[in-house]
Chains A and B, each alone.
Chain A
Amino acid sequence: MLLAAGGALATPLAASAAVLVISVQTPDGRALAGAIVTVRPLEGPPRHATPVHAVMDQVNRAFVPDLLVIPVGSTVEFPNSDATSHQIYSFSPAKRFQLPLYRGKPYPPTHFDQAGVVTLGCNIHDEMLAYLVVTDAPWFGRTEAAGSWTVEVPRGHYRVELWHPRARDEPAELTRELTVGEADRADLTVRLGKTLEPARLADRAHSWD
């Protein structure tokens, strides 16, 4: 699954690197799983993650997985494993596209060359919803069940941004800057200012509910 990029933590840290642990909490202090975290350096030459090829299937009238984080320049394939036809669309500014009515795998992968959140739907089945988070950040990931995400980064200054489908805070309120200094580990805890949107009903829940 394409949820995280960055150094492998099982190996010893390079002298110039440190572990950055980002924890995300709801306003009442509970861990928030599934939040997208992106980390960009504020100095030095621009860095980008390597584009990937990902697959988002359609099974039982749902996108599987229903959320992907991919670097700019990546391609995504949208096979339809259902017996019924689907008709995929996005009118998000980061990528406007549509895949005419189909079953199976008749179309080539779609290229995502602009950063932003792409909301996907099916023009036949209203309940189908998925997100593609296309990022130009070199490090990105998604918080685990305990509400945290860990990445190894060189020491330096960084901007950390969060996004969650149910978060109601403005983007600026979910942006932090920090310095990863001499210590081997840096911690950042971000608490949302606003309560999350209510989750979908249980039988229609997504991975972010």
Chain B
Amino acid sequence: MRCRLLLALLAAGAALHAHATDWELSVDARLVTSNAEPSFMEGGLGTVRYDSGDAGLQLGRLRLAVTQPLGDLFSAHLDASMYDDQDRSPLGITEAYLLFRPYPFEGYRLRVKAGAFYAPLSLENRESGWESPYTQSFSAIDSWLALEVRTLGVEGTLDWLGTRLGHSFDLGVTGGVFGWNQGAGNVIANDGFALTDRQTPVFGRVGQPADQPLEGAEPFLQFDHHAGIYGGLEARWLDRVVVRLLHYDNRANPNDVDYVADAYAWQTHFTSAGLRIEGDHGWTGIAQWLDGETRSAPDGEAGSWPFKAAYVLVAKRFGRSTLSARYDRFEVDSVGAEGDGAQSGHAWTAAYVFNADAHWRITLEWLQVISSSYNRDDLGGPPLLSETQVQLAVRYALGSRGGY
């Protein structure tokens, strides 16, 4: 009897052990020099994260991520970050969701997420914490997503695992239903595109309410009972090529105004297509394109801001080092708003990433953005501006798996 009890206890202990929490903790410090204008977080129209007043040592990101299996087929994921600038709270949650992952059946695999997370669009931000192995600053497309776009809802993905059935490709289809993203579009219509790696926490702000000249934006708002939707397709050829398509529409009513919160809805939709190719000898190429529009019409003042952005990235890995170069183009038009918010520009990014071991990652990045902005001109600044930011980032990570 005692022996059976002991065996039962041992089995229970083994089960608990198997469901232990995975965690990661990382701190990312930066040494920065920049000649940029004040950024979107300070009410300015600068197009990079750090401006000329930020020279010196900065906290890039302090991050804690936890994954907790719940039984055999569910897991809970939490990603929390602290940045060096002000938000509603010192620590914010960038992603938090429950994942349902039943076993693949007859070559098909279903995944269902519920909570707050990124839609499957980015091809560069493939590391944990939605970070990029190629550069420190995200492309203009992914920077915009990081600032304003998040799924607060449910997403289902069905994959056909052809590579497990003797074929050379896999296919996937994704659909999402979400709310609380009817403020997405505010930043792009007012500030335009930027290149940053700051991820707005869920229910966080981009900038502050009283900032001058541009007040903060709140992307995570819901004004009505309309759910946003998105749908996507993905095709993979072996482990070398990924193609992604995504159409997103937050289905907000552009006439909706919340007078208490002093905010109005932004009807935003976009389509994105991207391609990532990985070849022999450590080469990676990524190309991505995004085209969309945001509309707002509070109190009959209708305005529309069509926007588009694209980038091309080439990276080469040498052992533990990766050299990357990226070219971004972006443009925001202004329709019916007398030119307000119009912006166009391009950016060059060059980065050297050294993954010393499982704990240390060092990145040296040079980023130059050349942009013209109607709003900057309107506020007395130069319409055409070249901004350069150089940063040395040192990240130390540890966790249940010994680092990343």
Surface stretch bound by B, among A35-43, A51-59, A174-182, A196-204: A196-204
With A83-B402, A91-B104, A91-B106 known as contacts, the answer to whether A121 contacts B164 (CB < 8 A) is yes
A91 to B22, CA, bound (A): 27
Q: Separation in Å of the B328 CB from the closest CB of chain A?
A: 26
Which listed residue (B103, B278, B280, B402) contacts A89, Cβ 8 A? B103
With A84-B401, A121-B164 known as contacts, the answer to whether A200 contacts B69 (CB < 8 A) is no
State whether B280 touches A202 (Cβ < 8 A).
Answer: yes
State whether B239 touches A204 (Cβ < 8 A).
Answer: yes
Interface centre among A87, A91, A106, A127 (most CB of B within 10 A): A91
Contact of A103 with B by CB under 8 A: yes
State whether B164 touches A84 (Cβ < 8 A).
Answer: no
Chain A residue numbers with a CB within 8 Å of B280 are 201-202
With A101-B69, A103-B18, A106-B14 known as contacts, the answer to whether A197 contacts B106 (CB < 8 A) is no
Which residue of chain A has its CB nearest to the CB of B400? Answer: A83
Chain A residue numbers with a CB within 8 Å of B240 are 198, 201
With A101-B19, A119-B164, A197-B238 known as contacts, the answer to whether A87 contacts B72 (CB < 8 A) is yes
Contact of A158 with B by CB under 8 A: no
List residues 344-373 of chain B with CB under 8 A from any CB of chain A. none
A103 to B13, CA, bound (A): 11
Q: How large is the interface on B (under 10, 10 to 19, 20 to 34, 35 or more residues)?
A: 20 to 34
Chain B residue numbers with a CB within 8 Å of A202 are 280-282
State whether B238 touches A200 (Cβ < 8 A).
Answer: yes
A204 to B103, CA, bound (A): 23
With A85-B69, A197-B168 known as contacts, the answer to whether A103 contacts B103 (CB < 8 A) is no
Q: Separation in Å of the B395 CB from the closest CB of chain A?
A: 20
List residues 251-290 of chain B with CB under 8 A from any CB of chain A. 278, 280-282
Which listed residue (B18, B101, B238) contacts A123, Cβ 8 A? B101
Chain B residue numbers with a CB within 8 Å of A123 are 101, 103-104
List residues 133-170 of chain B with CB under 8 A from any CB of chain A. 161, 164-165, 168
Question: Quick one: CB contact mask for A52-95 with B, threshold 8 Å, 1 for yes?
Answer: 00000000000000000000000000000001110101010000
State whether B19 touches A85 (Cβ < 8 A).
Answer: yes
A100 to B103, CA, bound (A): 9
Contact of A104 with B by CB under 8 A: yes
State whether B278 touches A101 (Cβ < 8 A).
Answer: no
Contact of A114 with B by CB under 8 A: no
Interface centre among B15, B164, B402 (most CB of A within 10 A): B164
A198 to B279, CA, bound (A): 10
State whether A100 touches B164 (Cβ < 8 A).
Answer: no
Q: Separation in Å of the A66 CB from the closest CB of chain B?
A: 14
Which listed residue (A83, A84, A100) contacts B72, Cβ 8 A? A100
Contact of A25 with B by CB under 8 A: no
Question: Quick one: CB contact mask for B104-116 with A, threshold 8 Å, 1 for yes?
Answer: 1111000000000
Question: Quick one: CB contact mask for A94-123 with B, threshold 8 Å, 1 for yes?
Answer: 000010111110100000000000010101
Contact of B4 with A by CB under 8 A: no
Q: Separation in Å of the B279 CB from the closest CB of chain A?
A: 8
State whether A104 touches B18 (Cβ < 8 A).
Answer: yes
Contact of B225 with A by CB under 8 A: no
Question: Quick one: CB contact mask for B1-32 with A, threshold 8 Å, 1 for yes?
Answer: 00000000001001101111010000000000
State whether A104 touches B104 (Cβ < 8 A).
Answer: no
Q: Separation in Å of the A119 CB from the closest CB of chain B?
A: 5
List residues 227-241 of chain B with CB under 8 A from any CB of chain A. 238-240
4 smallest beta-carbon distances between A and B, as pairs: A100-B72, A102-B18, A89-B103, A106-B14
What are 25 inter-chain pairs, A to B, with CB distance below 8 A? A83-B400, A83-B401, A84-B400, A85-B18, A85-B20, A85-B69, A87-B72, A87-B103, A89-B104, A91-B105, A91-B106, A91-B107, A98-B103, A101-B18, A101-B72, A102-B14, A106-B11, A106-B14, A119-B165, A121-B104, A121-B161, A198-B238, A200-B238, A201-B240, A202-B281
Chain B residues engaging chain A, CB cutoff 8 angstroms: 11, 14-15, 17-20, 22, 69, 72, 101, 103-107, 161, 164-165, 168, 238-240, 278, 280-282, 400-402
Further contacts, 18 of them, CB under 8 A, given A106-B18, A201-B278, A201-B280: A83-B400, A84-B400, A85-B18, A85-B20, A91-B164, A101-B19, A101-B72, A102-B14, A102-B18, A103-B20, A106-B15, A121-B161, A123-B103, A129-B164, A198-B240, A200-B238, A200-B239, A201-B239
